Chain A
Amino acid sequence: MSLSPGIYFMSGNSAVAEGAIFAGCRFFAGYPITPSSELAERMAARLPRVGGIFIQMEDEIGSIMAIIGASWGGLKAMTATSGPGFSLMQESIGFAAITETPIVICDVQRAGPSTGMPTYVGQGDVMQAKWGSHGPYEIIAVSPSSVQECFDLTIRAFNLAEKYRVPVIILMDERLSHLYEKVRVPRKEDVIIVNRKLPKSKKNFLPYLADADLIPPMPPIGEGYHFHVTGLTHDERGYPKIDPEVQDRLVRRLCDKIRYHADEIIDIQTYMMDNAKIAVVAFGSVVRPAIKAIKLARSKGIKAGLINLRTIWPFPEKIIREYAEKVHTFIVAEINYGQIVHKVRESVNGKAKVVLLPKMGGAIHTPEEILNEIMEAR
């Protein structure tokens, strides 16, 4: 079945695949795209052996719709892609959001825009992950910065998807996907695996009547619940309803079920931030040179620290705002021309300087580049 406990040496892509299987994923539908294809290849080899189904679909739209269907068929399901495929999946992410279907999408970001540099790193899909589909909705996005985190955060992604009945995006980048590192696989009993909430009884069951946590139980098919799932705005019965009040109730709940639980969902990692005066904000592969830069800065007596956005969406505004009281400069190091920097500026709200340290794609910041920025900000 899933990997037995122990130490392994594998790539980021493989770690996501194994993490998914560990979390109970038994359905993968995908389409080849550099740099995520190895993930699909591993799933193709591993899923049949663990009692799961792998299918390569005709395109990314087919892939994500197939996992949404499989999820409603009762399986934990995921797909993996990169920028161009992720763009094709956006409409379906919105469909998964309004129908509250638990799915996991691993977006291995590469240098864009467009075809860009398929085999080179990028981090330019961050805003697309949040705002890619149309209309108001919320998703969760986690961002690993080590191969171990690729394993661990994939389990977390599935747990979050099942708990909140929402699409969860693993925002990886190419460098991490192809990086080989040590991975410790825990024992099953040491890890909490969350499964979706099921309805208690069929008696006057309303498929979209949420509990206090704003999350409705998810009915299984084939057992006489006779429920209707639609992308149209729908009421608690699941009936299509073209009515502003029903829209307000539904959309407010779809968003609030994530916003009210933001503190519980958000899990970020800080490094030497206790007495930091300068904060480097980074995620994914950039976290590694950032840590090195902070060590170098500290050795020069500069009080620098790192905020690693292990959860990008919902964005940790509160935490950033709190640090804005103590820090005079935020340096946002991201491999794009400014995306997360806007959210940091919004959270800091003028209480500190926010500087963008961009990389246009294809390469990660070097520790020296980050160090120079820290020195300048002193």
Chain B
Amino acid sequence: MKNKQQLGIAQIKRRRGIVFIIKDRCKGCGFCIEFCPSKVLQRSDDFNAQGYHYPIVVEEPPEKVCIACGFCSIICPEFAIYSKPLEDGEEA
């Protein structure tokens, strides 16, 4: 953390995001989970009507958090997931 202070990174407020999931559209391809840059998506134990384990968000703040980069919303072949930035102060 020391050099982060020197660089003043600690003060920079990182954007936080919220993920929206359309459970029943997921076909369990795992792309969002694999390529989420923050690694906050995991396969849920539960599964949808077709028997696929849809993704869920598992954060470990402050490092592993959704930053609403939107990659999951583009790479998903089923239009089953997307993310949006959280407004300031809006709690998840």
Q: Are chains A and B touching in the complex at the 8 Å CB cutoff?
A: no
Residues of B within 8 A of A (CB): none
Residues of A within 8 A of B (CB): none
